[in-house]
Amino acid sequence: MDPNTTTIASGLQKVRTRITEIANKAARQPEAITLLAASKTNPAECLREAFAAGQTIFGENYLQEALVKIAALADLPIEWHFIGPIQSNKTKRIAENFAWVHSIDRKKIADRLSKDRPESLPPLQVCLQVNVSGEDSKSGVSPEEVADLAAYVVELPRLRLRGVMAIPELTKATALQRSQFRMLKEAYDQLKQAGHDLDTVSMGMSEDLDIAIEEGATMVRVGTAIFGPRRYPIPEELAARSQ
Ligand SMILES: *Cc1c(COP(=O)(O)O)cnc(C)c1O
């Protein structure tokens, strides 16, 4: 047997156990937290192994890389989520190939995704990415502008607004992380108060999923804790390292 098979299955099992334990401690229902496997840099075979271990939701950041895997795994009923930054020349293939997009941060991209979503498919399920760290380098709409963007997106015929997403600052300062997760949850609560029918707070990754769940995450996006270290460095991480 491929040694990775057991590794990925046990990585998944550990993450599921961790989610259950944190949820229980935080007096939340473990079933209220959906696990998305963030699979960037891992080849299709690794995703197939995760699928065999019960994982059906996968998130990808880079369109070209994702399309290769989507084609290779077309025999499996995987729900594909796009979680990376979106350039406007990529919206067509994103709208054609994914069930969800977490990273909408401007009207132009929302417009294009709605226009590009094939009539043969259900509406594209979307989250608005909110910049909770205030870092210039991070994508995301500012917390002040999220209500305006939400009001715009719900009018688009081929999109269905599900909630909000954020990537907080990479830091060991847990109080800072917690305050940024809290900011996202507040943005979500305010949108609900404004009458939007939402169910998704997409936040929490391998290193910080505990705090995210305590602060109300309904979907956590976990990569390295399932698949092990990335197969090759990604541009954001290279940039962070050279700072
Ligand atoms: C890579 C990535 C994740 C998962 O990160 P890990 O630290 O590997 O768990 C989650 N969300 C986004 C947007 C990512 O790019």
Percent pLDDT > 70 in the chain is 94
CA distance 163 to 146: 11
Q: Whose CA is nearest to atom 8 of ligand 1?
A: 223
Q: Which residues have CB under 8 Å from 218's CB, separation 6+? A: 32, 33, 34, 163, 199, 200, 201, 202
User: Which stretches of the chain score pLDDT less than 50?
Assistant: 1
Q: Which residues have CB under 8 Å from 241's CB, separation 6+? A: 233
The answer to whether residues 143 and 101 touch, using CB atoms and an 8 Å cutoff, is: no
| Residues near ligand 1 (Cβ within 6 A) | 38, 40, 61, 83, 167, 205-207, 221-225
Q: What pLDDT digit, counting tens, does each position of 117-151 carry?
A: 999 999 999 999 999 988 877 789 999 999 999 99
What pairs with residue 214 in β-bridges? Answer: none
The phi and psi torsions of 209 (rounded to 5 degrees) equal -70, -25
Q: Which residues have CB under 8 Å from 53's CB, separation 6+? A: 8, 9, 12, 13
- To which residue do tokens 């025999």 refer? 75
The phi and psi torsions of 130 (rounded to 5 degrees) equal -110, 135
What pLDDT, on the 0 to 100 scale, is given for residue 2?
A: 54
Per the structure, the count of domains in the chain is 1
What pLDDT, on the 0 to 100 scale, is given for residue 200?
A: 98
Q: What pLDDT digit, counting tens, does each position of 145-170 carry?
A: 999 999 999 999 999 999 999 998 88
What pLDDT, on the 0 to 100 scale, is given for residue 235?
A: 72
| Domain span holding position 88 | 3-241
Locate 187 and state its tokens. 């943005």
Nearest in space to 84 (alpha carbons), one of 55, 127, 43, 115: 127
The pTM score is 0.94
Query: Cα(8) to centroid of ligand 1, in Å?
Result: 16
Atom of ligand 1 nearest to the CA of 207: 7
Q: Report the CATH number at residue 13.
A: 3.20.20.10
Query: Cα(119) to centroid of ligand 1, in Å?
Result: 31
